[in-house]
Structure 1
Amino acid sequence: MKVLKFGGTSVGSREAQLLAARIIARELPAGGLVVVSALSGTTDLILKAMAASARGDLAGSTRCREALEARHWEAARALDLEAEVRSAWAPLFQSLSNLLQGMGLLWEASPRSRDTALAVGETLSARLMAALLVREGLPAAFRDVREVLRTDGRHGRARPDLEAIREAAAPWRAALGPGALWVTQGFLGQGPDGATTTLGRGGSDTSATLLGEALGAAEVQIWTDVDGVLSADPSLVPGARPIPVMSLPEAAALSAFGAKVLHADALAPVRRAGFRLVVANTHRPSAGRTEIRLDSPPRRPGEITSVAYKEGVSCLRVPPTADAEQLFQASTRLLEAGASLYGLLATPDGGLLVARAETAEAEAVLTDLAASGLDVSRGWAVVALVGEGLRAAQGRALSLLGPLVEEPVAAILAGDTGVSLAFLVPDPRLAGLIPRLHATCIETPLGV
C-alpha cells in the first residue's frame, strides 16, 4: 500500500491538478490513499476572513469568503467539474458563511471555530480531486480523514492519539488493502469531544505519515514543488542539488534547522513504522527525488550532504552570577507557547538559550522575558552542516568551519545524533555565508 500526499501548490492550478491525477494513476494502479492540502492560498484567505470577522468587519470577511468561493468555482470550471462538485461544495460554503457570521456577531474567532472553518478549505480540495480522478476513469471516492485521525483537544496545535488512530483505521485498512482508492484531507483531525482539530501549518505532511503508519503502508510519497530534498536553499544557492537518498537522522536535522520541504512532526511515524518516505516534484515528476530511510546510506568520512539555516532566532543570556533556573523556566514557557529551541547551555561562564518564536504567543513570551530583565538578543540565525559523514569523522567536524574564520559566531551547537554541526551567526550574514559553505563543504569533496 502507498499513501500519496499533494501540497497546496501541487493542486493549485488546472495543470497541477491534471499532473497530480496522472501521478496517482501511475503510482496507485491497485488502489491506495491520496491526501491533499487546500488549494494554494485558500488557508490564508480563510484566516484573513476570520480575522476580519473577529474585529467586527463583516463586509471585509464577506469579500474574503466570496473571493474564496470564486477561486474554487473557477478551478472547478477549468476542469469541467462544476456539476460534479456542486452538491458536495454547497454545504461547505454555507458552513463557512455561518461560521464567519457567528464570529462577527461575537467579535471573536475561538480556536474551535477557527479549526472548523479551516477544515472547509481542505475538504473542498479533496472533493475536487476525488471528482477529477473519477472523471479520469479511476474508481476514486472521498473519505473524511476525521473518521481516523484522532487527536487531543488542543485546537490549532493538536497532537495525535496514536492508539486511537490505529483503532479507528481498521475499517480503512480492510478497504484499502483489497484495492480501494480514496481521497482525503490533510491537516485535520478529530478531538476527544468530536470537534474538528488541526495539526498546525505544515500538518498535511504529518497527516500523510500518520495515516501511512496506521494503515501499514510500505511507502508514503510527499509531492511538492521541488525536486526532492536539496543540498541548500535554492534561493541562496541556485546550484543546490537534490539528495537522492538520505537517512532519517539527516532528514530530521534538516527539518529542525530550516529545510521547508519536510515538516518535523512528519518524520516520527517513519521512525516508528519504518516505511519508505519519498519526496518528489509534482511539476517535474521525472526529475530527481529523495528517498528517506531508516538505515544510513553510504557516506564518506566527513561528507556533508546539506547546509540548512533558520533565521529570526533569539539568544537569551544570563551572567555567571545569575541563577540558571531562569533559563530553564524561560525554555519551558517558550516551548509551551510554541517556540523552537536550538540550544540550552549552562556553564560557569553563564547561560545561553537559543530559541525561535514560531507563534504570536511565543513572541509575546520573548517580549515579556526581555521586559523582566533577561538579556534577549534578536536577529540571529542558526546555520547547520548536516551529513552522516560527520559520524565517521567527528574530529574533522570543526575543520569544516574554515569559512567562519572571520564571521561573528555567537555559539557552536552539536546535535546529539552526531549528524549535524550548528552555529549562530547574525541574520544579515546568511546571503553570503550559505553559498560559501555550500561551495566549501559540498561542492568541494569532503570540504578540502
Structure 2
Amino acid sequence: MKRSFIVSKFGGTSMGDIPAMERSATISIERNSSVVVVSATSGTTDKLIHIAKQASASNAVDCEKLVFEVKERHQAMMNEMPKNHDGLEILNSYFTELDLLVQNISLLKELTPKAHDHILSLGERMSSLIFKSVLQSKLPNKSVVLLDARTVIKTDSNFGKATPLISEIAKQCAQLNTEVVYVTQGFIGSDADGNTTILGRGGSDYSAALMAEGFNATVLEIWTDVAGIATTDPRLCPTAQIIPEISYAEAGEMAQYGAKILHPATIAPAVRKSIPVFVGSTFEKNLPGTWIKANVENRPAVRAITKRSHQALLTISNPNMLNAYGFMGEAFGLFGKHRISVDCVTTSEISIAVTVDQTTLDNQKFMKDLESIGKIDVETGYALISLIGNDLFSRSSLAKNIFSSVDAASIRMMSLGASSFNFNFLIKEEESKACIQKLHLNLIEGK
C-alpha cells in the first residue's frame, strides 16, 4: 500500500499574521503534511510590486516608506516567535537583498523582468522563513526543513510567467528526503542559470501542484479563506453553495474561466498523476470543503457559473482574405508569439473575433503586429459568463433556459462546441450580476 504523502498549500490570508500561521501549522500537523507550500503574507506581493515601480521611477520617499512597512511587518512577526538567531539572521539578509535590489533599480531607472521576479520572490521567502519557525515550535521532536523552492521548481527564462520544466522538477524531488517535513515557497522557481523566476500571479497553487506531482503525493490540499469551491461567486449571488466534489475537467474549466479559488494551471499536474485535490478554509477547518477527483458520482447539467471581468472583444478584419488561405493561422500565430490567451473565437471569411483580457490592449507590440494583418476594432466593458457542467452538447433545453434568464439582445458573443464542459457568452459588465443570479436560480437551484 502506498504511504500517505500530503502536500499542503496555504494562501496569503493563512499567512497574514502569527495567529493565522499558527492555525495553518496546526492544520498541517493534523493532516500529517509532508510538504507545506506557502504564499507571501497577505498584501506583501502587491507592496513589492509598488516598491519596484517606485524605485524605477526614482520616487525615493514613497519607496523607502513601503520598504520600511514590509520590513517592519515581517520583523514584528519574527519577534513574536521564541528567539531564533539563525532565523533573524536570514531575515536580515533578505532585508539587505531588498535594499540592494531597490538601489540597483533606482540607479538604472529601469525595472527589468529579471529584477521584477527577484524582488517579488522575497515575499514568499520571508513568509516561509517565519512559518518554518512557527511549525518547528509545534513539532519540537521532528525535523522541519526550510526548502528553497528555486532548487526544485526549475523553469525556462520567461520572466514574469515562467514555464516549469516538469522532468527537471521530478529529478529534484527524487533527491529530497521524504522523512522530514519541508516548508517551501509557492510562486517562485529558477532557470538553468540560477536566476529567480516566478510562475505568475496566483502561482502558489501551481507550485504546490507541481510539488505534489514531483513527489508523487497521495493528496494535494489547497487551504484558503473560503470553505471550498462554490457554485458561483457568493459576492455576486448570495445563494451560492459549496460543491462537495467536482471532477478534474469541471474544476479546470472553472479555474480557466474566472473562479479565483484556483490558479488555472493547478489541475494539470494533479491530473497527470491522478492526485485528489482538497480545497478548504483555514478559518473553518472542520467544514467538509470540496474534493476534486478524476471521477465523481453526481454529474449535473450545470455545476457552476463563473465570471471573468474586464474583457475586451477584438475583431480583426481583412477583406483581401476572402477565399484566401492562412489569415486565421497568421492571426493566431501572433497570439502565440506574444503568449496571449484567447477564450472565445468566432470567424467569417474576412474576419476573426476573439475575447481577451482588457490588459492585452496595453501590449503595444502585440497590437501593432495585429494591425499589420488587418483592421482592428476594439470593444471593452464586457464580462465573460461561463456555464460549467457535463455533456452540455446534449442538453437541448440549455439555450432556452439561458435566453429565459438573460435578454438575448444583451449577448454580444457566445461559444459552445470546443468543450462539452462549458458554454460561454459575452455580456456587458453592468448586466452580469443580475444575469448570474437568474442563471443560478434557474439552472442550479432549479426554481
Do they fold alike, i.e. is TM over 0.5? Answer: yes
Q: Which residue of 2 aligns with 1:365?
A: 366
Q: Take 1:440 and 1:244, find their aligned partners in 2: how far apart are those partners? A: 20
- After TM superposition, give the deviation of residue 109 of structure 1 in Å: 1.6
Q: Take 1:366 and 1:288, find their aligned partners in 2: how far apart are those partners? A: 47
Deviates more, 1:184-193 or 1:356-365: 356-365
2:235 matches 1:231: no
Deviates more, 1:319-328 or 1:95-104: 319-328
- After TM superposition, give the deviation of residue 350 of structure 1 in Å: 4.5
Q: Which residue of 2 aligns with 1:47?
A: 49
TM-score w.r.t. length of structure 1: 0.91
Q: Which residue of 1 aligns with 2:30?
A: 26
2:9 matches 1:5: yes
Q: Which residue of 1 aligns with 2:312?
A: 314
Q: Which residue of 1 aligns with 2:355?
A: 354
Q: Take 1:79 and 1:236, find their aligned partners in 2: how far apart are those partners? A: 40
Q: Which residue of 2 aligns with 1:130?
A: 132
Q: Take 1:27 and 1:70, find their aligned partners in 2: how far apart are those partners? A: 32
- After TM superposition, give the deviation of residue 428 of structure 1 in Å: 1.1
Q: Which residue of 1 aligns with 2:161?
A: 157
Q: Give CA-to-partner distance per residue, 1:327-357, whole Å, 9 cap, x none.
A: 5544443444443311222235853222224
**Alignment CA distance shift 1:115-1:147 (3 Å):** same
**Alignment CA distance shift 1:313-1:81 (3 Å):** farther
Q: Which residue of 2 aligns with 1:95?
A: 97
- After TM superposition, give the deviation of residue 364 of structure 1 in Å: 6.4
Q: Is the 8 A contact 1:36 1:184 kept in 2?
A: yes
Give, as a single letter, the amino acid of the residue that structure 1 aligns with 2:42.
Answer: S
- After TM superposition, give the deviation of residue 13 of structure 1 in Å: 2.0
| Secondary structure of the structure 2 residue equivalent to 1:169 | helix
| Secondary structure of the structure 1 residue equivalent to 2:27 | helix
Alignment partner of 1:64 out of 63, 66, 75: 66
- After TM superposition, give the deviation of residue 47 of structure 1 in Å: 1.0
Q: Take 1:285 and 1:292, find their aligned partners in 2: how far apart are those partners? A: 17
Q: Take 2:83 and 2:46, find their aligned partners in 1: how far apart are those partners? A: 24
**Alignment CA distance shift 1:361-1:254 (3 Å):** same
Q: Take 2:46 and 2:96, find their aligned partners in 1: how far apart are those partners? A: 19
Q: Which residue of 1 aligns with 2:430?
A: 428
Q: Give CA-to-partner distance per residue, 1:229-276, whole Å, 9 cap, x none.
A: 110111111221111100111111111110000111111101211101
Q: Take 2:316 and 2:157, find their aligned partners in 1: how far apart are those partners? A: 36
Q: Which residue of 2 aligns with 1:188?
A: 188
**Alignment CA distance shift 1:205-1:186 (3 Å):** same
- After TM superposition, give the deviation of residue 180 of structure 1 in Å: 1.1
Q: Which residue of 2 aligns with 1:444?
A: 446
Q: Is the 8 A contact 1:58 1:101 kept in 2?
A: no
Q: Which residue of 1 aligns with 2:281?
A: 281
| Pairing 1:395-406 to 2, within 5 Å after superposition | 395-401=396-402, 402-406=404-408
Deviates more, 1:40-49 or 1:72-81: 72-81
Q: Is the 8 A contact 2:234 2:240 kept in 1?
A: yes
Deviates more, 1:42-51 or 1:409-418: 409-418
Give, as a single letter, the amino acid of the residue that structure 1 aligns with 2:401.
Answer: L
Q: Take 1:54 and 1:381, find their aligned partners in 2: how far apart are those partners? A: 33
2:214 matches 1:214: yes
Q: Which residue of 2 aligns with 1:166?
A: 170
Gaps of 5+ in 1: none
**Alignment CA distance shift 1:132-1:125 (3 Å):** same
Percent of paired sites with the same residue: 27
Deviates more, 1:77-86 or 1:52-61: 77-86
Q: Is the 8 A contact 1:148 1:165 kept in 2?
A: yes
Q: Take 1:196 and 1:19, find their aligned partners in 2: how far apart are those partners? A: 30
Q: Which residue of 2 aligns with 1:323?
A: 321
Q: Which residue of 2 aligns with 1:419?
A: 421
| Secondary structure of the structure 1 residue equivalent to 2:424 | strand
Q: Take 1:126 and 1:240, find their aligned partners in 2: how far apart are those partners? A: 34
- After TM superposition, give the deviation of residue 322 of structure 1 in Å: 5.3
| Secondary structure of the structure 1 residue equivalent to 2:266 | helix
- After TM superposition, give the deviation of residue 321 of structure 1 in Å: 3.6
Q: Which residue of 2 aligns with 1:107?
A: 109
Give, as a single letter, the amino acid of the residue that structure 1 aligns with 2:116.
Answer: R
Give, as a single letter, the amino acid of the residue that structure 2 aligns with 1:404.
Answer: V
Q: Take 2:381 and 2:320, find their aligned partners in 1: how far apart are those partners? A: 24
Gaps of 5+ in 2: none
Give, as a single letter, the amino acid of the residue that structure 2 aligns with 1:26.
Answer: E
TM-score w.r.t. length of structure 2: 0.91
- After TM superposition, give the deviation of residue 120 of structure 1 in Å: 1.3
Q: Is the 8 A contact 1:221 1:279 kept in 2?
A: yes
Give, as a single letter, the amino acid of the residue that structure 2 aligns with 1:186.
Answer: G
**Alignment CA distance shift 1:231-1:12 (3 Å):** same
**Alignment CA distance shift 1:433-1:106 (3 Å):** same
**Alignment CA distance shift 1:257-1:192 (3 Å):** same
Q: Take 1:114 and 1:86, find their aligned partners in 2: how far apart are those partners? A: 25
Q: Take 1:332 and 1:273, find their aligned partners in 2: how far apart are those partners? A: 31
Alignment partner of 1:15 out of 13, 19, 39: 19
Q: Is the 8 A contact 1:338 1:358 kept in 2?
A: no
2:338 matches 1:340: no
- After TM superposition, give the deviation of residue 285 of structure 1 in Å: 0.7
Deviates more, 1:207-216 or 1:69-78: 69-78
**Alignment CA distance shift 1:366-1:22 (3 Å):** same
| Pairing 1:72-87 to 2, within 5 Å after superposition | 72-79=74-81, 85-87=87-89
Q: Give CA-to-partner distance per residue, 1:58-100, whole Å, 9 cap, x none.
A: 3322221111001112222344567563112011110111111
Q: Take 1:240 and 1:274, find their aligned partners in 2: how far apart are those partners? A: 28
Give, as a single letter, the amino acid of the residue that structure 2 aligns with 1:289.
Answer: G
Give, as a single letter, the amino acid of the residue that structure 1 aligns with 2:45.
Answer: T
